[in-house]
């Protein structure tokens, strides 16, 4: 391996070993703590009940905290498509960043280079579908913002890690903040369900509340329209969702 990996095992994992083919997702997180050392301490502290499989430090060094074939506790209550509680089906990767509560920063190049190398290896080893490489906020939009709008999803997609739209920036910018009608709103929501977002399907696609919908839209924007996170569906968001759905066929 071209990066430096060390071991600092966390006691927080399911004692039952899982099978290789149960690993279907990669979930990316930021630590959301002021200091890197405090984050490492927390993730390896038996009292915290949280952990991850891999931890990527500011300098790009990687710490293995829970071996791949054991389920780490990183996702919490979560869902995507027909999967619930994604811990058992995923590898969780924490990346040092103070996060939205403590002065959200750009991720370092060292971190992204290591993340790319590590992800490529895991994708190959566990035959992970690129559509199953997600952020914590995708699978738990009502609770989580990580890894957030500074996370370079577009760059990763170019390296064949996860997916992205292929619309040009000018077209998108022209459609930013342009209102949509009710029918278009329904289409947008349907598109998000097709992509995998946890929107509860009920009669006529009404979901539980506008507040919840706003959080889902924000999660979508943090991922695919990182320039403006306002929780409002506009023509740009609709276009992006249409483009992504086409790719999902
Ligand atoms: Zn997280």
208-239 residue pLDDT tens: 688 889 999 999 999 999 999 999 999 999 99
Q: What are phi and psi of 207, to 5 degrees?
A: -110, 175
Task: Using the mean position of ligand 1's atoms as its centre, give its distance from the Cα of residue 32 in Å.
Answer: 8
How confident is the model over 148-162, as a mean pLDDT? 97
User: What's the gap in Å between 145 CA and the centre of ligand 1?
Assistant: 8
Q: Convert the pLDDT of each residue in 50-103 to its tens digit.
A: 999 999 999 999 999 999 999 999 999 999 998 999 999 999 999 999 999 999
10-25: pLDDT as tens digits: 999 999 999 999 999 9
Active-site positions read: 94
What is the pLDDT, as a whole number, of residue 212? 87
Quick one: pLDDT band at residue 248, thresholds 50, 70, 90?
confident
pLDDT digits (tens, 9 = 90+) for 123-132: 999 999 999 9
Please check the confidence at residue 202 and state whether its pLDDT lies above 60.
no
pLDDT of residue 201: 61
Query: What pLDDT is recorded for position 206?
Result: 53
Determine the distance separating the centroid of ligand 1 and the alpha carbon of 71, expressed in angstroms: 15
Whole-number Å distance between alpha carbons of 238 and 247: 15
Q: Is 116 a residue whose pLDDT tops 70?
A: yes
Please indicate whether residue 121 or residue 202 has the higher confidence score (pLDDT). Answer: 121
């Amino acid at each position: 391996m071209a990066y430096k990996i060390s071991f600092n095992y966390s006691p927080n994992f399911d004692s039952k070993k899982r099978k290789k083919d149960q690993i279907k997702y990669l979930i990316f997180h930021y630590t959301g703590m002021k200091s890197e050392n405090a984050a490492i301490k927390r993730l390896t502290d038996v009292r915290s009940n949280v952990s991850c499989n891999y931890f990527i430090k500011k300098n790009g060094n990687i710490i293995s905290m829970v071996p791949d074939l054991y389920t780490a506790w990183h996702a919490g209550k979560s869902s995507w498509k027909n999967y619930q509680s994604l811990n058992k089906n995923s590898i969780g990767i924490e990346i040092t960043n103070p996060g939205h509560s403590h002065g959200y920063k750009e991720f370092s190049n060292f971190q992204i280079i290591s993340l790319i190398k590590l992800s490529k290896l895991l994708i190959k080893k566990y035959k992970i579908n690129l559509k199953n490489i997600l952020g914590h906020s995708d699978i738990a939009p009502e609770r989580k913002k990580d890894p957030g709008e500074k996370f370079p999803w577009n760059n990763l997609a170019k390296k064949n890690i996860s997916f992205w739209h292929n619309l040009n920036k000018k077209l998108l910018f022209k459609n930013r903040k342009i209102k949509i009608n009710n029918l278009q709103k329904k289409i947008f929501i349907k598109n998000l369900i097709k992509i995998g977002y946890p929107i509860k399907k009920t009669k006529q696609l009404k979901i539980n509340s506008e507040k919840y919908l706003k959080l889902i839209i924000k999660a979508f924007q943090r991922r695919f329209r990182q320039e403006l996170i306002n929780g409002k569906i506009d023509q740009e968001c609709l276009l992006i969702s249409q483009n992504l759905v086409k790719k999902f066929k």
